[in-house]
Structure 1
Amino acid sequence: MSHSPTVGVYDYGIFFSLTALSLGIGLYLSFRKRGRYRNRDETFLGSRKIHGVALALSMVASSVTAVGTIGFVAYYYLHGFHTLWCIPAFLPGGILVYYFILPVLYELKLTSIFEYLRMRYGNGVGIASSLIYFVLSQTIGATGLYSAAVAMSTIFGMSLAISIILLGVAGTTYTALGGLKSVVWADCVQALIMVSSPFAIIGKVIYDSVRSAVPPRPLDDLNFSAYILRTELDLTTDETVWAGSIGAFPVQLMRLGLDQVITQRFLAARSLRQARLAGFGGISLLVFCYLLHGLAAFSMIYWFRDCDPVLSGSITRYDQIVPYYIDKNASSAHGFRGLFLAGLVSASISTVSSIVNSHAAILYVDIVSPYIPISEEKSGHVMVALATSSGIVMVLLGLLVPYIGSAARFFIALNSGAAGPFAGIIILAFFFPWANAKGTAVAALGVFILQIWQTTGRFLSRTGPARMAYGLDRCPANITLMSVELPGNREKYQGLLLYRISPYWCSLFSGCLTVLLGLAFSVASGSPKGNVEAALRLSSPSVFKFWRRIGFLRHIAKPIERVAPDPLATEEIEALRTHESDNCAIMEAASWTGLKLISSSILKTGIS
């Protein structure tokens, strides 16, 4: 890519003003609370008093990364828009998550979804799941950090390493010092700023096409069916209507609420009604962002389809297409690059801060505090240290991304693939009371190993979807021409069938396989009546009604009472912890003694 034009004072002014605004909110809330004791709820859930609208904005800001702003636009340009068919699946996915799964966690007053897994299955399954999540999500955060740093160093001429460190430190500082409340309110500002990047692309393409002496070719001959209406049932590609709407369903469940980052926002709401407002509001905003990125990609198609920058030799990879357009066309627009970069950096910092806070919550709640006694005086320092450590690890990984690019892409692919087994674990926990720890653990481990094998084979075989056909018909005369590679001319991988299954379909199949094998192994290992009743206390009442209606739980004489939030004082709860008996007895007493009694016992023993 050619060297960027000189950056103007307007670019610097807009970039630093918007970035300082978003960071200033987080830092202000962080330092305002310094010196005050903050308990676990305040640090990780904002004392459960955050408004639903703010949480909805935070959910979107956390989900839309810098990789998405650049990578999704490039993906849509190269492969089409079929992944946008996930949008119709948001409504049933949202109903499933916000009415049957997350309300159980909300009423249990939990901090993380892994805390629920420890209650439901025991420490082994919960801790193993949380550690896998920690490793995979660290890679996502580091890659997003690197993407924003590349744009920042390219436009401003800064060192790449310094850019990564500055972005990582900025996101980690207010997260470690201020907790979730600082993260959420900073996210609100960052969400508004980050949409400026795709808007800037769309607006500039419209402006350039109107002002250009030779405007781009009209789109009336574009084959829209190839881009977004392929309806064949092909399990080897994600670029069909069915893959986007059905195959990607486990991935969307993670994005809508099963991911710890989103779960925390739901649990931080003032009430269950506000939590659902946050969830469905977040879905609406996420749809808006998806469509906005789609329009940005459509703008790139309109501008480059007759002078493809990769085919012309101007860039070497399609993920450079957005920075290339910014570099080539932004010099005449004062402040344009500063606005674009501010949106990109805001998306990156929001992702970093959200992942750091969720990691600190997981490490403190699920790994450290159950095994290491921590006094109230030291708990605040421990939580800050855990958040800082997570941020440091992410920065170090971000610095390594240029050297482990292939490994980073592999872990990103594995993170997407792991959505299937993890969604299967959650579905078993909430909807199938017969599922026990042994059956679920064996099934999930086996399927996850199979998923690693499939992802590795697909990654090494370089199997990918077909590409859209572009040309060089309207390039300037001095452009070096290269041969155009048509989608039909690409040689399809003909090896092992397992490697040919696309990521979305593989995610769906692995999720279903986890559920089926988990049930089979659980039934084979035996699920005593007491354990089934205990599991029902940790699920939605609708689950019990459904199974009774079809005749599976008629041996249970009366409706299972839900576990209710507990009015007991902290010292009473601590006293109760020293007098725990077996699961069934404690479950029977839970309706009288409340949440914490059942929580403390199951966290130690699990429903096995």
Structure 2
Amino acid sequence: MVSRHSFHIVDYVVFGATILISLGIGLYFALSGGRQKTTSEFMVGGRSMKFLPVALSLMVSFESSIMMLGYPAEVYVYGAQLFIKLFGFMAAFLICRVLMIPLIHPLKLTSAYEYLDGRFKSRTVRQLGTTLGALSYIFYMGIVLFGPAIALEAVTGFPQEGSIFLVAAAAIVYTAMGGLKAVIWTDVFQAVVMFAGMLAVIIKGTIDAGGIKAVWTTAAKGGRLNFFNFDFDPTVRHTFWGLLLGTFARSSGLVFNQSTIQRVCSTPTLAAAKKVMLIVSPAFWITLTVALIEGVVAYAYYVNVGCDPLESGQIQNPNQIIPFMVMDIFRGLPGMPGLFLAALFSASLSTISSGLSSLSAMTWEDVLKPRLPNVSDFTATVIAKVSVVAFGFLSCGVAILISFIGGTLTQIATSVLSAFNGPLCGLFIIASLCPWANAKGAIAGAVVSAALMMWLCAGATFSGATRPTPWLPPAPTDQCSVDNMTSLIMNTTGLMTSTTELHDVTTVGAVAEPVTGISVIYTLSYLWLAAVGIAVVVIVAFFVSWATGFNRDGNLDPRHVIYLSDVIRNIFTRGKKTNTDEKLVKQGSINTIVIGLEPGPAAETELPLLATTINNGLDPAHINQAKN
């Protein structure tokens, strides 16, 4: 690929320093404290992590190259409609704080899928959840690895495969050495680097585009501030309803997620776990907004210079727009391109390390531990570390496969992951919110949903039947130099495509051939895929549970179910105890106890005691005796 700029030695130093510091943090936790010799320390940080670093770690776990490259690319070619997604994310995280954390934290889980086993008393349901969760993580990591690879190729010509294995190797080393503690503290460091890189791009890009007013005026004239489309057609790529409701369904997968539950359970108290989500929600909002602003600034910048790199053929993929702009605006400022690349790799490293940590915990707790009951804790920790290496290399293979799928990273991630996240999220929803669901219903619902979603997502991705969405009018190309335009016809490296090939389904005014027959289902917008997966699980589970006698009350442990009536009553009584609470306490409902406690320090200290009391099978009336 033709590139007008190159990296300076200072850029490589800045980039290399980021990798070395991350490795250093992993080495520190490998040699300090308990030295990661137990599964508790390696997988959940000894359940003693402070809420602030855990919150930052959880935030950047979901903010990878998909955010740093995919969101700006989406704005550049389709507009800023994606901003509506943030409301769906916010709603999901807030509901997580109210419903999921009081349910999950007292159970002191290591694997999220232990919960499914406890709820349904079925190892089959647990293994099914573990399989879907593992597939989701492996594909997610593959997509995240692909992001910095195309960025580095765009600005330096470094091969994609080399970048993929570089990022994976770094994440594997410090995750295997330092466990969850290393993952969390490297995430904190990488969050700082990520923010610094993104803000540097926005500030310098805004200055070069003519200032804040010029940026927003240019974006408005170019149709990039197209926030609202209230079309009810579910085949339209982006509508207000799809972005809000579809994202809410998709975000529920982030709530019922091994990374989320693993971090929540690494905090010592319920109050600390709630603080984690209280911080994550607005922080997630802010960082995604910053990423969207990058796309607006990029468009305004290339309008100002009069040379759209996509339209002129200088880059082949919209996901490369931000790294390409970085090399433009920081020309003559050694170190700044390196800072951005460090930020991009930091975002990816945080996600990869979180995924590897989660997969190692799932592998041991859900797959190997039940089959190797007599293995020592030290040996179990070694096995978990080896699994980190295995999953790291597996994700590299997936990343190479992802390179053959077209579209922005945001669309690729949502489409591919919905095949697993939708059924998995539906499984957790019926487990926690539907007391009537039994194991047979859960298994049938998850299997049918997974099969349907894999077929639907594969068809939507590869059939070509998806309803094409025209790109918005590009920035002008009248100021492109001869060297820029010459790159349009240069294809000697095999990495570029012509303008016609690149825009064959995205050119403004493109007319698609009508889709008929079974292929019509593939025209559904990718935003609705997760919602469809959840709905199928709930519907199938209901009918199968009904046909098999529903769930018998005696088989239901009330600690594993959220009673919405309790939650609603708690909202209206503002946490005060009622006579109904006392009755339910006698029945052993941990959720009722959580809701019934007065907010404040007392609740924070009494909750673990209450949970322990009930877990031990004691009558809650003996709580005072247990205190003494």
TM-score, normalised relative to structure 1: 0.83
Q: How does 1:425-574 map to 2 (within 5 A)?
A: 425-462=427-464, 463=466, 464-472=468-476, 474-476=478-480, 478=482, 480=485, 487-491=508-512, 494-495=515-516, 496-527=519-550, 529-531=552-554, 534-542=556-564, 560-562=587-589
Give me the CA root mean square deviation: 3.3
Alpha-carbon contact 1:79-1:239 (below 8 Å) kept = no
Distance between the aligned counterparts of 1:216 and 1:309, measured in 2?
A: 18
Give the secondary structure class of the aligned counterpart of 1:418: helix
Aligned to 1:9: 9
Distance 1:226 1:492 in 2: 29
Q: Are 2:85 and 1:56 aligned?
A: no
Contact 2:90 2:285 in 1 (8 A): no
Partner amino acid, structure 1, of 2:248: F
> Could you tell me whether the CA contact under 8 Å between 1:536 and 1:544 is conserved in 2?
no
1:79 aligned partner: 78
What's the TM-score once normalised by structure 2's chain length? Answer: 0.81
Classify 1:164/1:420 alpha carbon distance in 2 versus 1 (closer, same or farther; 3 Å).
Answer: closer
- Cα distance, 1:401 vs structure 2: 5.1
Deviation string 1:83-108 (CA, Å, 9 cap, x unpaired) is: 32122234432232222223222111
Question: In the TM superposition, what is the alpha-carbon distance from 1:40 to its structure 2 partner?
Answer: 2.4
Q: 1:457 deviation in Å?
A: 2.0
Distance (Å, rounded) in 1 between the aligned partners of 2:111 and 2:308: 46
Bigger Cα displacement from structure 2, 157-166 vs 98-107 = 157-166
CA contact (8 A) 1:69 1:197 kept: no
Q: Deviations over 1:112-140 (max 9, x none)?
A: 22111122231112112211221232122
**Do residues 260 (structure 1) and 258 (structure 2) align?**
yes
Q: Which residue of 1 aligns with 2:594?
A: none
Aligned twin of 1:42:
41
Instruction: From the superposition, tell whether residues 441 and 315 of structure 1 become closer, same or farther in structure 2 (CA, over 3 Å).
Output: same
Q: Which moved more, 1:395-404 or 1:364-373?
A: 395-404
1:210 Cα offset (Å): 4.2
Q: Work out the percentage of aligned pairs sharing the same amino acid.
A: 24
Contact 1:563 1:595 in 2 (8 A): no
In 1, distance between residues paired with 2:478 and 2:364? Answer: 58
Gaps of 5+ in 2: 489-498, 570-579, 592-609, 619-628
Please state how far the C-alpha of 1:25 moved relative to its aligned partner.
2.1
Pick aligned residue for 2:422 from 415, 420, 423: 420
1:331 aligns with 2:331: yes
SS of 2:432 mapped into structure 1: helix
Q: CA deviation at 1:159?
A: 5.3
Q: Is the 8 A contact 1:433 1:536 kept in 2?
A: no
Q: Which stretch of the first structure deviates more once superposed, 477-486 or 239-248?
A: 477-486
- For structure 1, the 5+ residue unaligned runs are 548-553, 565-589, 599-608
Q: How big is the shift at 1:247?
A: 2.0
Tell me the distance in 1 between the aligned counterparts of 2:481 and 2:78. 28
Would you say 1:140 and 2:140 are equivalent positions?
Answer: yes
CA contact (8 A) 2:141 2:395 kept: yes
8 Å contact kept, 2:405–2:461: no
Residue correspondences, number: 559
Give the AA of the match of 2:439.
A
Where do 1:40-439 residues align within 5 Å?
A: 40-121=39-120, 122-152=122-152, 155=155, 158=158, 160-210=160-210, 218-219=217-218, 222=221, 227-255=226-254, 257-305=255-303, 307-373=307-373, 374-398=375-399, 402=403, 413-439=415-441
Q: Indicate conservation of the 8 Å contact 2:448/2:536, yes or no.
A: no
For 1:335 and 1:544, locate their aligned partners in 2 and report how far apart those are by CA, in whole Å: 56
Contact 2:431 2:437 in 1 (8 A): yes
SS of 1:489's partner is coil
Measured in 2, the distance between the counterparts of 1:197 and 1:96 equals 31
After TM superposition, the structure 1 stretch with the greater mean CA deviation from structure 2, 436-445 or 289-298, is 436-445
One-letter amino acid of the structure 2 residue matched with residue 299 of structure 1? V
Note the C-alpha offset of 1:263. Answer: 1.8
Deviation for aligned residue 1:337: 0.7
Deviation at 1:74, TM superposition (A): 0.8
**Aligned partner letter, 1:392:** F
Question: In structure 2, do the counterparts of structure 1 residues 140 and 25 end up closer, same or farther at CA, with 3 Å as the change threshold?
Answer: same
- Which stretch of the first structure deviates more once superposed, 323-332 or 313-322? 323-332
Alpha-carbon deviation of 1:523?
1.6
Distance 1:22 1:286, change over 3 A: same
Are residues 377 and 7 of structure 1, via their aligned partners in 2, closer, same or farther at CA, if it must alter by over 3 Å? closer
